[in-house]
Structure 1
Amino acid sequence: MNKHIELRHDWTTEELFTIYHKPLMELVFEAATIHRKWHKADEVQLSTLLSVKTGGCPEDCSYCGQAARYHTDIQVQALLPTQTVLAHAKRAKEAGASRFCMAAAWREVRDNRDFDRIIDMVKGVNDLGLEVCCTLGMLTEGQAKRLYEAGLYAYNHNLDTSEDYYDEIISTRTFDNRIQTIANVRKAGITVCSGGIIGLGESNKDRISMLHTLATMDTHPESVPINALARVKGTPLEDHSKVDIWEMVRMIATARIAMPASMVRLSAGRMEMTESEQAWCFLAGANSIFTGEAETLLVTPNPAMSDDLVMLARLGLKPMSR
C-alpha cells in the first residue's frame, strides 16, 4: 500500500462532477487502482450496527421509519440494558466483526441517565477490543469529550444530502447543525463517520455537492457510508424508485478517488442488491459493510452475517481484523 500520495482537500465540484460522469469502466478502473494503493484490496471490514433505542424520534427525516410522526410498523423500544448491548457486541466480535456501532433514535444527546448508560456501553464495547462507534444525533463539545474519554473510536453523523437539497428532506434541523456536530466530534479527538443517502429525489449535482463538502474538510472523514434509500412504508419516500446499482457504483468510486484514505462503507440498501452488484461496489472501492445477527440495519432488512461471509469467500475477500 502506497500512502505517500498527498491527500487533496481542494477538490472543486466541477472536478468531482467530471469524475462521477467518466465512462463507467474507466471510472471503476481508476477507483480500483487508487483503492489498492491505500488499502488491502482483499479485506472488507464487517461492522455490526445495533439500535440501542428505537423509534419515537421527534425529527421529520422523510426517509426514516423511526420518526414518531410517521405511521410505520416499527415498534418503539426504550434504551436497551447495558448488559444486553455488551452481549450483542461480544457475539458480533465472535462472528467476525471488528467494529460495533450503537444507534439511538434521538434528535440530540441530553445530559441525563440515558447518556450515562451510553457511556457505560462505550466503555464495555471498547474493553472487548472492538472499534466502538455511536450515532446519537446532535451533540455538544462537552458530550463529545465524554464519549472520547470513555473510549469512543468513531461518531456517525451523516450529511444525508447536499446543503441545497437538505431542506427538502428534513426541516427539524439544519445542514449547519450537522456540520457543527461533526466539528465537535473532530475537536474531541474522535474519528468522523459521515456520508449520505442516494435515492431521495436529489440530482447528480446534489450528490456531488455532498461529496464535495466531505472531500474539502480539513480532515477527510475516516469513514464515508454510501447508503441507497431503504424505502420504509409509511414514510414520505416510501414510493421512490429503487436506486440503480450503477449510481451506487459511481458514488462509491467518486468517494474513493476523492478520499482515498477513508473507509468507504457500502451501507443501507444491500438487501435489494445481488451478489454481483455488491461485487461491483467492492471493486469500485467499498471496503466495509454493515452486517449483524438480527438481519436488520436499524429497522430495515439486511443480509445475514452468515450470508455475507459466504459472499465474501466467493469473491475472494476476507473480514478485516482490527
Structure 2
Amino acid sequence: MTGATRREGVAHAAGEGPPPPWTEAAARGLYDLPFPELLFRAQAIHRRHFDPAEIETATLLSIKTGGCPEDCGYCSQSVHWQTGVTATKLMEVERVLAAARRARAGGATRFCMGAAWRGPKDRDMDAVCAMVEGVKALGLETCVTLGMVTPAQAGRLARAGLDYYNHNIDSSRGFYPRIVTTRTLDDRLETLAHARAGGIRLCCGGIVGMGETVDDRISMLVLLATLDPPPESVPLNMWHEIEGTPVADRAAPADAIAFVRLVALARLLMPASVVRLSAGRQAMSDETQALCFLAGANSIFTGEVLLTAGNPDRGADAALLARLGMRAAAPGQGAPAPGNGAAACQQRPPADRGCGAAVEQAAAPL
C-alpha cells in the first residue's frame, strides 16, 4: 500500500474530490489523523447527509432466544457455551406486536426482531412475515436478524414489507475464523447478497474489543464500505463481557478514543449510511457517547435490554440528548433517508441547521 493511496483517502475527507476505491491503507490514513482533525472532517461529511442534531432511535426484541447451533465465540445464545441463557420458542405474533406498540410509544422509529437461529426454517416464515407486516402497519421501520436466509426467504420477507435485514460480518476476514468456525465470512456475505437481491436494505456492522487489532477493525469497515452499495445501516458494537464465552477469556476492550476514531472512520467511508451505537453502550460514559455523535453516529438502541444484554434505559437516553441539545427522530419518521440529510437540514431555521455553506467551508482543504 502506497503513501499516495493514504493521501487520496485523506484528500477525499477534506472535500477535494470523489472517494477513492477504498483500501485499508487509505482508511488507515484517515484513522491516524490528529483526533480533532478526524472528528472535524467526519462531522463535516455527516452534515452533508444528515441533520447533525437528530438521532434515530431503534428498539431490539429477541423473538426467539438461545439454543443457536452456531459457535460464535462472543454470543450468549450459542448452545455451545454455558452462559445461563435459557432457550425459548418463537414468540407469538401478538406478543411481538404488543412490544412494538410499547416501543413506538417510547419514541422508537425502527423495530428490530432477532431470532437465535442458524437460519429460519420455512415453517417459521409465516409467523415472522406476520410480525413484519404487523410492525410495518404501526408506522415503524422493520428489521429482522434471523441468521442465514435463502433467496426465496428473502423474497418473502421483502413482500411482507421488511425494510432492513441485519447480518453482521463481526470482524475482519483475517480475524473472523478466530471467533466463528461453524460458518464463514463468505456465508455471511452470501446472505447479505440474498437480502439485497430481494430488494431489502442492509443493516451490517461488527464488534470491537474481542482481541482484534486496530488493523482488523479498519479492514472490517473497508469490507463494508466496498460492498456495492454499502449497507444503509452500520451498527458498531462494543464488546461487553459475557461469562462463559470463549471471547471473554481474551477480550481487550477498545479504549474510548479508539472507538470514537472507528465511528468517525465509518462515517467517512460510508457517508450516507446510518451509523448506530449498538451493544456495549451501557458501559460508555456520556462523554464518550457525545464524542461518538460528534464523529457521525446518528442512531442508538433504546430500551433496557438488547437481546440478552443490558442497555441504558429511555430516561437516561432522553436526559443525555437533552444535555447535548439533540433530539430523537419523531416516531414514524426515523433518521433522514440516505442522501436526504441535506434536504432535511434545509427545512429547519438557519440558526438551527448547522449545515449549508458552513459545511462546505469545514470540508475545504486546510
TM-score, scaled relative to structure 1: 0.95
Q: 1:9 to 1:135 in 2, by over 3 A?
A: farther
Which has the larger Rg?
2
Q: 1:185: which partner in 2? A: 195
Structure-2 separation of matches of 1:313 and 1:107: 40
In the alignment, does 2:65 pair up with 1:38? Answer: no
Please say if residues 9 and 218 of structure 1, whose CA atoms lie closer than 8 Å, have aligned partners that are also in contact. Answer: no
Q: Distance in 2 between matches of 1:152 and 1:6?
A: 35
Name the counterpart of 1:289. Answer: 300
Which residues of 2 match residues 47-126 of structure 1 at below 5 A? 47-112=58-123, 114-126=124-136
Amino acid at match of 2:54: E
Q: Distance in 2 between matches of 1:248 and 1:135?
A: 24
1:308 equivalent in structure 2: 317
* Partner SS for 1:100: strand
Q: Amino acid of the residue matched to residue 220 of structure 2?
A: M
Report if the CA contact (8 A) 1:7-1:259 is conserved: no
The residue number in structure 2 matching 1:246 is 257
Aligned-residue offset at 1:268: 0.9
Once the two structures are superposed, residues 47-79 of structure 1 have per-residue CA deviations (whole angstroms, 9 ceiling, x without a partner) of 000000000100110000000110112222211
Counterparts of 1:150-189 in structure 2 under 5 Å?
150-189=160-199
Give the distance between the partners of 2:277 and 2:158, measured in 1 at CA. Answer: 26
Amino acid at match of 2:181: S
Please name the residue that 1:259 is paired with: 270
Alpha carbons of structure 1 residues 179 and 319: separation in structure 2 relative to 1, 3 Å: same
Q: Does 1:130 align with 2:145?
A: no
1:165 positional shift: 1.1
Answer yes or no: is 1:199 the counterpart of 2:209. yes
1:189: Cα distance to partner? 0.5
Q: Single out whichever of 236-245 and 209-218 deviates more from structure 2.
A: 236-245
8 Å Cα contact 1:9/1:215 also seen in 2: no
Q: 1:11 aligns with which of 22, 44, 52?
A: 22
The letter of the residue matching 1:315 is: L
Counterpart pick for 1:208 among 218, 223, 227: 218
1:276 maps to 2:290: no
Any conservation in 2 of the 1:72–1:232 contact (CA below 8 Å)? Answer: yes
What code does the residue aligned with 1:216 have?
T
2:307 maps to amino acid: L
Q: In the alignment, is residue 139 of structure 1 matched against residue 149 of structure 2? A: yes
Amino acid at match of 2:285: T
Contact 1:24 1:250 (C-alpha < 8 Å) held by counterparts: yes
Please give the alpha-carbon distance, in whole angstroms, between the structure 1 residues aligned to 2:240 and 2:133: 31
Percentage of pairs with the same residue = 50
Render the CA deviation track for 1:75-125: whole Å, top value 9, x for unaligned.
22211111110011011111110000000000112211x221111100000
Contact 1:42/1:317 (8 A) holds in 2 = yes
State how far apart, in whole Å, the 1-side matches of 2:88 and 2:286 are. Answer: 32
**Aligned equivalent of 2:234:** 224
How far apart in 2 are the matches of 1:58 and 1:22? Answer: 42
Give the distance between the partners of 1:167 and 1:242, measured in 2 at CA.
Answer: 19
SS of structure 2 residue aligned to 1:237: helix
- Looking at structure 1, the residues matched to 180 and 321 of structure 2 have their Cα atoms a distance apart, in angstroms, of 36
CA distance in 1: counterparts of 2:171 and 2:242, whole angstroms: 18
Once the two structures are superposed, residues 272-314 of structure 1 have per-residue CA deviations (whole angstroms, 9 ceiling, x without a partner) of 111111101000000000112xx11111111111211111111
- Whether contact under 8 Å (2:210, 2:252) holds in the other structure is no
Aligned with 2:248: secondary structure? coil
| 2:11 aligned residue | none
Q: Verify the 8 A CA contact 1:7 1:260 in the aligned structure 2.
A: no
Change in 2 beyond 3 A, CA 1:99/1:9 = farther
- Structure 2 vs 1, CA of residues 196 and 9 (structure 1 numbering), >3 Å: closer, same or farther? farther
C-alpha distance in 2 between matches for 1:8 and 1:254: 13
Aligned equivalents of 1:254, 1:193: Cα separation in 2: 17
Deviates more, 1:311-320 or 1:255-264: 311-320
Q: 1:25 aligns with which of 33, 36, 48?
A: 36
Which residue identity is paired with 2:59?
Answer: T
Q: How far did residue 200 of structure 1 move?
A: 1.2
State the Cα distance separating 1:7 from its structure 2 match: 7.0
Alpha-carbon distance in structure 1 between the residues aligned to 2:282 and 2:254: 12
Q: Residue 8 of structure 1: CA displacement? A: 4.0
TM superposition shift of 1:6: 8.7
Q: In structure 2, do the counterparts of structure 1 residues 200 and 90 end up closer, same or farther at CA, with 3 Å as the change threshold?
A: same
Gaps of 5+ in 1: none
